Structure 1
Amino acid sequence: MGSSVEELSISLEHDIDEQYQYQPGEIVRGNIHVKTNRRTVVRTISISVHGQGVVAWEDPDYGSFNADEEYINASQIVRQHSKHDPLVIDKGFHTFPFDYQLPTNLPSSFIGKFGSVTYVLKAVIQGERPGETSITSEPFLVLRRAPLPEKSRQSAGANTEKRFWSKLRSGKIKVQIEVSKLGATPGEDIIICAEVANKSPVRVTAVQACLLMNSLYHAKQRAIPFRQIVNKRRDEYELLRGDGRRWQNVRLTVPPYIPETALEFCDIIEITYFLQFRVETSGGKEIRLELPILIGSRPAGLELPANGHEGGNSYNRQWNTMTKDFPFQKELPPQIPEQPTWHDGLIPEMRGKDSTMVNPLFSKQPVQEQVRMHSEPEHDEIMETTKL
């Protein structure tokens, strides 16, 4: 809008880590902040909320595959100019509040290698003359908390053994593992107890437990999978024949910003989780045990109030579906946009295997400063060598 608008921004009122994290059905409250350097006549001040899912990949044999879904596309006129009541903004700072209740059928935010689910607010100030327009946007997270079945909070285990040969000698490596639960909420710890017994002629070089996310992307009746490590504990210790390794109360933290199992209400991306326990050997072979893990919420205590807000305040019902006449419709991204830039290129599935996945929208907070939710009593972690 020429040089009259010096600053335009959106701030949201929320109390979860100050990182704009919402549940479906929750009210998004915020303010549009404007700084002008002179007295300005404005035609409209508008806010919109847009949520979409996109999938795209290239196949060397079959070409391009893409798909998209729209979850929210609503708009609101916050302030509007009229013949009898012109909208004039004096020089200085101004704040315009807004609110919007999210639909209850939204999928969680997600950014992966071949697709994403993203949500963004966009504010527009349109002046009297064509071309006098200022636009800003602010992303936010939606994290659905699907209740976990009670049986998923119980412990579970698995065991296996495998025979190895070396220099005409053979022997077995035996592995057993027990986890404190098969269902967890983001931020919680999964407690692992495990034993490795090496009665083979090969050396065990490392033991590793990791939480795996399997994502499956759908487009044009085809699908492409991708598997990533979202967190791991690695124990590099050499075990010769006759040695064993014992884990007691080893904690594997579920990252705080990952979507729930299945990514409900998204038809183009599926998500499942596994806890993998792996034993690596000097010959390059390995032993793997995998247990399915459900990610969701506790059965009770995290539900939204029936009215969508603790204080019972009303919310603005004057939002509407966007139309071609809306002043910034042309600014919306195409159906298959390029990877969004507001997450600074930090695609979780492309991070190094040694890094824990954190909130892709707000990655400035160090991992070690994030709060963990401990549902089990504190016990000392032990990784020790034993003799068989």
Structure 2
Amino acid sequence: MAPTRFSIVLDNPVGAYFPGQTITGKVILVLDQEKNSQGLKLKLNGEAEVKWQEGIQGQSGSKGFHEKESYFHTKIVLLGDERATTDISIPAGHHEYPFSFELPLSLPSSFESPFGHVRYDIEAVVKRSWKFDYSTKLMFTVNALVDLNLRAPLAEPREVTKEKSICCLCCKEGPISMRIEMPRTGYVPGDVIKFSVASENSSSRPIAAIVVYFIREIYYRAQGRAKSVQEEIVKKRGPEVQPFLSESWAEEIHIPPVPPSDLGGCKIIEIVYMLKVTACIINTNIQSMRSCI
């Protein structure tokens, strides 16, 4: 018969930690009758994994790509002996086994996506001779600290300009130019990105809107191959720009809770955030610039 209760309880109810912090908690085991076992062990794991398929699975030419990266794998014996060869008796009743573990200093932030993840978990296992083990698992979160003061270039203003001519039948129209400016390029969740866009339309065709996208691009690497996926996080729509006129537009984007660009030592997943500015013209999209942040 399985335990009435077998669970891991962290002293931090949120279950989120910084690299270098100490995780403390307890394993609770409630038995309605005496059990024989080889002891109680705790396993703490941190790893990254990427996996994707190219081509149609099962068809000729399709191939899967897979890579793993381990950050720590630790065992703690809470009851019994690691080398025990005989069973020990655990009496009926409520039992609590405290534990503590100091996280390594260099750990990437937790991350989840369809093609890869960075995960951290704690697993408690009651070993039993000639029987199925009892086990329970708890995930926890690591948030790597990012000190923008150590990255001086991120505090500098940035300006990107692009110009493009459009064609109407056989005629080449005057160019459309756009310039985006930001006071800095280093931000953290909760910050506000303030930007301004200046647009000049020297063509005879109206610009329906200037659109700024806050985009996350994720790169996955496995077996010498790379895969990238773009995700739109926030979109801001700006003004129209009539033919032979110019417009200036200032706006803000509030950064939601997102994992940092630098996952902190993860070599198989890379995250890049950027602003992409697009001039929307009928049958033509001028993707004028990308400014990474």
**Under TM normalisation by the shorter chain, which class is it?**
0.7 to 0.9
- Find the aligned partners of 2:92 and 2:132 in 1 and give their Cα distance: 17
After superposition, what is the alpha-carbon deviation per residue over 1:103-148, rounded to whole angstroms, capped at 9, x for unaligned? 1232222233432221111112345x53253211111222222433
Residue equivalent to 2:286: 286
Task: Give the superposition deviation at 1:94.
Answer: 4.0
Give 3-state SS (helix, strand or coil) of 1:151's partner: helix
Is the alpha carbon distance of 1:233 and 1:221 closer, same or farther for their aligned partners in structure 2, counting shifts above 3 Å?
closer
- Find the aligned partners of 1:247 and 1:87 in 2 and give their Cα distance: 73
Residue equivalent to 1:222: 225
8 Å CA contact 1:166–1:202 kept in 2: the answer is no
Is the alpha carbon distance of 1:152 and 1:86 closer, same or farther for their aligned partners in structure 2, counting shifts above 3 Å?
same
8 Å CA contact 1:24–1:104 kept in 2: the answer is yes
Residue equivalent to 2:255: 254
Matched positions, count: 283
After superposition, what is the alpha-carbon deviation per residue over 1:177-213, rounded to whole angstroms, capped at 9, x for unaligned? 1113111123322111222333423332333323333
Task: Give the superposition deviation at 1:258.
Answer: 0.6
Residue equivalent to 1:315: none
The correspondence for 1:165, drawn from 161, 164, 167, is: 167
Kindly provide the amino acid, as one letter, of the partner of residue 109 in structure 1: S
Residue equivalent to 2:64: 64
Is the alpha carbon distance of 1:205 and 1:39 closer, same or farther for their aligned partners in structure 2, counting shifts above 3 Å?
farther
After superposition, what is the alpha-carbon deviation per residue over 1:64-92, rounded to whole angstroms, capped at 9, x for unaligned? 32222221111111223899x9553443x
- Find the aligned partners of 2:237 and 2:11 in 1 and give their Cα distance: 43
Q: Larger strand proportion, structure 1 or 2?
A: 2
8 Å CA contact 1:123–1:136 kept in 2: the answer is yes
Residue equivalent to 2:5: 7
8 Å CA contact 2:39–2:88 kept in 1: the answer is no
Matches within 5 A, 1:177-192: 177-192=180-195
TM-score (structure 1 length as normaliser): 0.64
Is the alpha carbon distance of 1:96 and 1:204 closer, same or farther for their aligned partners in structure 2, counting shifts above 3 Å?
farther
Residue equivalent to 1:98: 99
Query: Any gaps of 5 or more consecutive residues in structure 1?
Result: 294-388
User: Is the aligned partner of 1:198 residue 2:193?
Assistant: no
Kindly provide the amino acid, as one letter, of the partner of residue 123 in structure 1: A
TM-score (structure 2 length as normaliser): 0.82
Residue equivalent to 1:298: none
Matches within 5 A, 1:271-310: 271-293=271-293
- Find the aligned partners of 2:280 and 2:91 in 1 and give their Cα distance: 67
Task: Give the superposition deviation at 1:41.
Answer: 5.1
Task: Give the superposition deviation at 1:62.
Answer: 6.6
Residue equivalent to 2:142: 142
After superposition, what is the alpha-carbon deviation per residue over 1:138-167, rounded to whole angstroms, capped at 9, x for unaligned? 112222224331231232222222222336
Answer with 33-42 or 135-144: which moved more: 33-42
Task: Give the superposition deviation at 1:244.
Answer: 4.8
Percentage identity across paired residues of the two chains: 23
Give 3-state SS (helix, strand or coil) of 2:154's partner: helix
Residue equivalent to 1:44: 39
Kindly provide the amino acid, as one letter, of the partner of residue 283 in structure 1: N
Query: Any gaps of 5 or more consecutive residues in structure 2?
Result: 56-60
- Find the aligned partners of 1:103 and 1:80 in 2 and give their Cα distance: 26
Give 3-state SS (helix, strand or coil) of 1:183's partner: coil
- Find the aligned partners of 2:198 and 2:291 in 1 and give their Cα distance: 16
8 Å CA contact 1:217–1:223 kept in 2: the answer is yes
Give 3-state SS (helix, strand or coil) of 1:264's partner: coil
8 Å CA contact 2:215–2:274 kept in 1: the answer is yes
8 Å CA contact 1:165–1:201 kept in 2: the answer is no
- Find the aligned partners of 2:211 and 2:16 in 1 and give their Cα distance: 32
Kindly provide the amino acid, as one letter, of the partner of residue 267 in structure 2: D
8 Å CA contact 1:22–1:143 kept in 2: the answer is yes
Is the alpha carbon distance of 1:86 and 1:66 closer, same or farther for their aligned partners in structure 2, counting shifts above 3 Å?
closer
Task: Give the superposition deviation at 1:39.
Answer: 5.0
What's the Cα RMSD here? 3.0
8 Å CA contact 2:188–2:260 kept in 1: the answer is no
